[in-house]
Amino acid sequence: MFRRFFSRFGLLAALALPLGFAASSCTDKDGNPLLFSLEDDIALGDQVAAETDSTYRAQGKLVERASNARAYQLLDAVVNRVLNSSDIQHRNDFAWDVKIIKEDSTQNAFATPGGHIYVFTGLIKYLDDESQLAGVLGHEIAHADRRHTSRQLQNQYGIQLLLSVALGNSESTAAQIASGLAGLGSLKFSRDFENEADQYSVIYLNGPGYYACDGAAGFFIKAQSQGQASPPEFLSTHPNPDNRIQAIQTKATELNCRNRTVNSSDLRELQRLL
Ligand SMILES: [Zn+2]
């Protein structure tokens, strides 16, 4: 699948990227320009999303929009309030669609490159208020908008990835990314990317002025208070809750957007519907 994605652009294009890449605001951890173009992010994300959809649909776990219109209306409203932030760079470039996966035992969410968002019912049912949901969604939206998957792939594999893909050795890369993002595989974002996503979650929630902008911290506080007996899945892909709560709250205090009271009746209705 990954090979098909790259063959669309061709071996020549893939190899020419490092040479011909113009200055970009997106860089890897060493400050090198990102080899993946925005179009590559979108094409890769479409494949990862197709892979994710077919995996969960085959298990009967993909909550279909057609038969769950009200649930999606409620969830879309939260996503759109986060996306209303003017700090989203690729608001008009990426898909920004959201899908629900019916798995009550999984308290997790993730976003593919190109902005396809997935939320497990276990997370939605776990949360206490809508700012927490918006905070976690903001964090995932930041991973996509800041292009963390592409940057992570470049950090880990660099030019080798492009070469192996061009030579056709990475058929299952899209599938691996899909399971990695869902917390099942080996793809883990670096601590820097996790911290950046936390910071942008606060920034996104601050902009539209609707949610308490430290909502993501609320999730970590709740997860910690539950103890180690059954930690949410999100914690396995998002470790170090102590430091993160503090960093999120420091940023939120700096932006003076912590103390907003949100009516969570929509979240309650969404929880009842799932
Ligand atoms: Zn994350």
Centroid of ligand 1 to alpha carbon of 140 (angstroms): 6
Q: Ligand 1 centroid vs 93 CA: distance in angstroms?
A: 21
- Cα(256)–Cα(238) distance, rounded to whole angstroms? 25
For the chain, list the strands marked E by DSSP.
62-63, 97-101, 109-111, 116-120
Distance 195 CA to ligand 1 centre (A): 8
DSSP code of residue 106: -
Percentage of the chain modeled with pLDDT above 90: 53
CA 196 – ligand 1 centroid, Å: 9
Residue scoring higher pLDDT (151 or 131):
131
Residue 25 clears pLDDT 60, i.e. is over it: no
Residues 171-197 have pLDDT tens digits of 556 666 666 666 544 467 888 999 999
pLDDT in tens, 108-141: 999 999 999 999 999 999 999 999 999 999 999 9
Kindly state the greatest CA–CA separation across the chain: 54
* Ligand 1 ion: Cβ-proximal residues, 5 Å cutoff: 194, 197
Long-range contact set of residues 3-6: C-beta below 8 Å, sequence gap at least 24: 3/165, 3/168, 3/170, 3/171, 4/47, 5/40, 5/43, 5/44, 5/47, 5/174, 6/162, 6/165, 6/166
Distance between first and last Cα of the chain: 32
Local confidence band at 151 (pLDDT 50, 70, 90 cut-offs)? confident
Instruction: Kindly list the strands in the beta sheet with 116-120, ordered across the sheet, starting from the edge strand earlier in the chain.
Output: 62-63, 97-101, 116-120, 109-111
Reduced to 3 states (helix: H, G, I; strand: E, B; else coil), residue 232 is coil
Question: Does position 18 have pLDDT exceeding 90, yes or no?
Answer: no
Over range 194-223, report the average pLDDT. 93
Domain that holds residue 246: 2-26+33-273
Q: What is the mean pLDDT of the chain?
A: 82
Ranking 3-17, 63-77, 185-199 by mean pLDDT, the lowest is: 3-17
The pLDDT assigned to 230 comes to 61
> Given a cut of 50, is residue 19 above it in pLDDT?
no
Cα–ligand 1 centroid distance for 59 (angstroms): 25
Name the E strands within 2-92.
62-63
Would you place residue 15 in the very low, low, confident or very high pLDDT band (cuts 50, 70, 90)? very low
- Of the candidates 272, 182, 274, 193, the one whose C-alpha atom is nearest the C-alpha of residue 236 is 182
pLDDT tens track for 216-237: 999 989 888 876 556 666 776 6
Evaluate if residue 214 carries a pLDDT over 90. yes
The 10 Å Cβ neighbour count of residue 104 is 13
Give residue 164's pLDDT.
58
The count of structural domains within the chain is: 1
The yes-or-no verdict on residue 212 having pLDDT over 80 is: yes
Helix axes 241-255, 215-225, angle to 10 degrees: 150
